[in-house]
Amino acid sequence: MDTLKFYIDGRWVEPAGTARLGIVDPATEEVFAEIRLGTREDVDRAAAAARRAFAVSSETPVAERLAWLDKIIAGFRSRLPDLAMMMTREMGSPITFATERQATVALYHFEEAARVLAQYRFEEPMGAGIVRREPIGVCGLITPWNWPLNQVASKLAPALAAGCTVVLKPSEIAPLSAMMLAEIVDEAGVPAGVLNLVNGDGPTVGEAIASHPEIDMVSFTGSTAAGIRVAKLAADTVKRVAQELGGKSANIILDDADLDAAVIAGVHACNTNGGQNCQSPTRMLIPRASRDAAFAAARRAIETIRLGDPQDKATTMGPLVSRAQFDKVQELIQSGLDEGATLVAGGPGRPADLNRGFYVRPTVFGDVTPDMRIAREEIFGPVLSIISYDSEDEAIAIANDTPFGLAGFVQSKNPARARKVAERIRAGRVYINGAAFDRSLPFGGYKQSGNGREFGVFGFEEYLEVKAILGATG
């Protein structure tokens, strides 16, 4: 793979500009690859190729699109170990997690897109005519570094299934797994111009995609601040905007839950992927009387986390993705100390036995109040805030006292009670008692956590327009 080229119109081509960016292995802090940074001219070329290809892809029969997806799935499976290792190198995900979760969940999205496409009714009679659903057009996909392949797949798979064409900008911090996926798409025989990949930063390539007149829709995953910028740029061309943004999810442990088990599971959920997850349950809400027992359980959970070389299969937590992310998390850990939270486990600085890499000590704060920075800001690192409450109503009020609304979590031995609490949480997805991931159910947020949905049929329909044809039959 020539990492210095872009995939445009079915070929790996030389970028218009010459600027380069080193890709840093966050475990060693060493540059191990380079990419070129794209320009608006590169986006123009990619959008033009996608526009030409849309004339073909939009008319491609479902059976042919299913054949593309089947070949992509086969190619993905055959290269899954390589994709996992690439993510370990580019963003520090432990190899076991990268294989079993990062790469495998990305594969699920292509399998789910194929399942939805095979069953989907694009046309139905209604009233005095018919309603058709047609591909929206050229889609700009802007994806983050924390799940560098999963977030690409969750957008690309339904876009291809729907008959759209794509201009993709993966994160410039972790772009290499997405480039490998472009190779897989190319080898699957997907027509030239259906997928185009341009590397680059947000202010240049991302903004060019969001504002481009030849792009009909932009799907963005990232910070709320960047999402606001994307929406403003997209407004001038009145394109559809789908956004999956920040989160500050609450994990309500009710007074009838198995406290020990719930706290331990909540700590591990918060630390998954180094805490670099938008839906991480970073605010743990506990009954005030359970304070000491919860702190003790949290300490025991933290002691089982093994930091180290992400290429070691025994490692359960690797480094954060970059120096900038490391510095941000350290600053927020210090703010927790400065504002008077009780340090239950972890704390500032690197682990004592690691002298290089962007490693952060998994940290738990107790006696956190809802107004503290660590309780309000998305930290995007392994930092948990434990907040005490006195009543169920107060717990729900604290959970909803946030500008975000991506996810929520409820723990209770009474399923009916847990369901009632879940219904009162203002979030797009709520997990009851550690419910497992389901790729068919919609994922997305309320409030400043975004708009639109991904996964399953809801994610598929984001890439379709609705047309009424009056007077038509059948």
pLDDT of residue 437: 87
- pLDDT above 80: residue 405: yes
Please report, for the domain that includes residue 207, its CATH number.
3.40.605.10
What is the pLDDT averaged over residues 382-398? 98
Dihedral of CA atoms 425, 431, 437, 443 in degrees, nearest 10, equals: 0
Verify that 125 and 255 share a domain, yes or no: no
Residues with a catalytic annotation lie at 244, 278
197 within domain boundaries? yes
Verify that 285 and 388 share a domain, yes or no: yes
- pLDDT above 80: residue 435: yes
Both structure tokens of 1:
């793979």
Cβ atoms of 365 and 384 within 8 Å: the answer is yes
From the list 434, 322, 341, the residue with the least C-alpha distance to 384 is 341
The model's pTM is 0.97
95-113 confidence digits (pLDDT tens): 999 999 999 999 999 999 9
- pLDDT above 80: residue 401: yes
443 within domain boundaries? no
Number of domains in the chain: 2
> SS3 for 124-157, per residue?
EEECCEEEEEEECCEEEEECCCCCCCHHHHHHHH
Verify that 133 and 268 share a domain, yes or no: no
What is the pLDDT averaged over residues 384-412? 98
Verify that 152 and 285 share a domain, yes or no: no
Cβ atoms of 215 and 167 within 8 Å: the answer is yes
Boundaries of domain holding 340:
250-438
CA–CA separation, 99 vs 95, rounded Å?
6
Verify that 205 and 351 share a domain, yes or no: no
Phi first, then psi, for residue 192 (nearest 5°) are -55, 135
379 within domain boundaries? yes
Cβ atoms of 170 and 83 within 8 Å: the answer is no
89 within domain boundaries? yes
> Which residues 6+ apart lie within 8 Å of 407 measured at CB?
247, 249, 279, 281, 427, 428, 429, 430, 431, 445
- pLDDT above 90: residue 473: no
pLDDT grade for 1, boundaries at 50, 70 and 90:
confident
What is the pLDDT averaged over residues 404-414? 98
336 within domain boundaries? yes
Please report, for the domain that includes residue 274, its CATH number.
3.40.309.10
Verify that 235 and 292 share a domain, yes or no: no
Verify that 381 and 315 share a domain, yes or no: yes
Verify that 74 and 203 share a domain, yes or no: yes
From the list 387, 213, 162, 372, the residue with the least C-alpha distance to 295 is 387
Verify that 41 and 190 share a domain, yes or no: yes
249-272 confidence digits (pLDDT tens): 999 999 999 999 999 999 999 999
Verify that 89 and 223 share a domain, yes or no: yes
What is the pLDDT averaged over residues 144-153? 97
Verify that 123 and 172 share a domain, yes or no: yes
186-231 confidence digits (pLDDT tens): 999 999 999 999 999 999 999 999 999 999 999 999 999 999 999 9
